[in-house]
């Protein structure tokens, strides 16, 4: 009687949640894999994969996406780590960390839009360059501006996990390190950094995967001179209507995602921030 009761209770908890898992987790992944085996003529085929693997364009695009995602992650990390570190030293840390979060609440489209103004021929940066006597430069629609804007948008998502791992460090550990004769640098490199490595891992996951699949910024800031896997998926689904090929690239992206997760997940559980709103 009790076991039966227990079972029914479990099921009542689970019913809606299971429907969700079936409908919005399993079904979409299954469908995208299924779709990737269909050509334009709605025939079952491996042509999309053959096309992908034999096309210099797609392979180069994959490589490019990797390079860009790597650069974006690296820049983000270099800027974020010291920020997170110094934040832990502040008095009203809770408040400051909220101020780091605040920009993520501004829609990223608006931020991209701001950069169109800042980087344009007559924008703030070029005003400054002209003032310095260098003269206006082409900034918008360059690879550099694309990487910078993407990194800008990702910064808070890198700071947070690193900050969380740094703030957990017991001050006694640092004290102990000093007592044992380590200088500041040694303490940072030998003690603090290893402890915060899990935060860095989460941050890298949270930034690298979405960076692989950016699509909106490639257009607004990169002027479509930068094409990532995300751009290609978006084009195939919404412009050229070749869902089969779009799904194929999607499946490849999913594979890369799992690979990245496996490589970066140490002891800690998978990424805690949704890669949200960043494509």
Choosing from 49, 66, 74, 123, the residue that interacts with another protein (CB under 8 A) is: 123
Could you say which residues in the range 10-39 bind another protein, by CB under 8 A?
Answer: 10, 13-14, 16-17, 20-21, 23-29, 31-32, 35
CA distance 162 to 199: 4
**Which residue among 43, 168, 178, 186 contacts another protein (CB under 8 A)?**
168
Residues 6+ apart with CB under 8 A from 45: 37, 38, 39
Q: In 3D, which of 53, 26, 51 has the Cα closest to residue 244?
A: 51
C-alpha–C-alpha distance, residues 183 and 201, integer Å: 26
What are residue 38's DSSP bridge partners? 44
* Distance, CA of 55 to chain centre: 26
Site string for another protein, 66-105 (x = CB under 8 A): -------------x--xx-xxx-xx--xxxxxxxxxxxxx
* Residue 46 sits in the site that holds another protein (CB under 8 A): no
Residue 207's alpha-carbon distances to 70, 197, 267, 271, in angstroms, are 9, 15, 19, 10
CB of 124 or CB of 180, closer to another protein: 124
The nearest distance, CB 13 to another protein, in angstroms, is 3
Question: According to CB under 8 A, which one of 52, 68, 146, 152 is a site residue for another protein?
Answer: 152
Query: With binding defined as CB under 8 A, does residue 144 bind another protein?
Result: no
Residues forming beta bridges with residue 44, ordered by sequence position: 38
Q: Which is nearer to another protein, 200 or 210 (CB)?
A: 210
Determine, following the binding rule CB under 8 A, whether residue 177 of this chain makes contact with another protein.
Answer: no
């Amino acid at each position: 009687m009790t076991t039966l009761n227990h079972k029914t209770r479990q099921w009542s908890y689970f019913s809606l949640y299971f429907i969700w898992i079936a409908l919005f987790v399993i079904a979409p992944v299954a469908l995208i894999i299924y779709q990737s085996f269909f050509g334009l003529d709605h025939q079952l085929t491996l042509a999309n994969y053959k096309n992908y693997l034999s096309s210099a364009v797609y392979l180069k695009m994959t490589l490019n996406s990797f390079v860009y995602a790597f650069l974006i992650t690296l820049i983000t990390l270099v800027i974020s780590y010291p920020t997170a570190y110094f934040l832990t030293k502040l008095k009203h840390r809770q408040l400051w960390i909220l101020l780091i979060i605040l920009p993520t609440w501004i829609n990223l489209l608006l931020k991209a839009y701001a950069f169109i103004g800042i980087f344009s021929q007559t924008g703030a940066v070029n005003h400054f360059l002209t003032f310095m006597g260098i003269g206006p430069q082409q900034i918008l629609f360059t690879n550099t501006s694309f990487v910078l804007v993407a990194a800008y948008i990702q910064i808070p998502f890198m700071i947070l996990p690193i900050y969380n791992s740094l703030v957990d460090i017991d001050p006694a550990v640092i004290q102990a390190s000093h007592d044992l004769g380590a200088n500041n640098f040694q303490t940072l490199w030998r003690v603090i950094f290893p402890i915060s490595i899990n935060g860095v891992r989460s941050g890298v996951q949270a930034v690298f995967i979405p960076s692989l699949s950016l699509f909106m910024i490639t257009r607004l800031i990169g002027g479509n001179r930068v094409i990532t896997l995300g751009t290609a998926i978006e084009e195939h689904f919404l412009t050229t209507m070749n869902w089969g090929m779009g799904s194929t690239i999607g499946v490849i992206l999913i594979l890369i995602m799992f690979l990245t997760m496996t490589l970066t997940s140490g002891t800690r559980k998978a990424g805690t921030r949704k890669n949200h709103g960043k494509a």
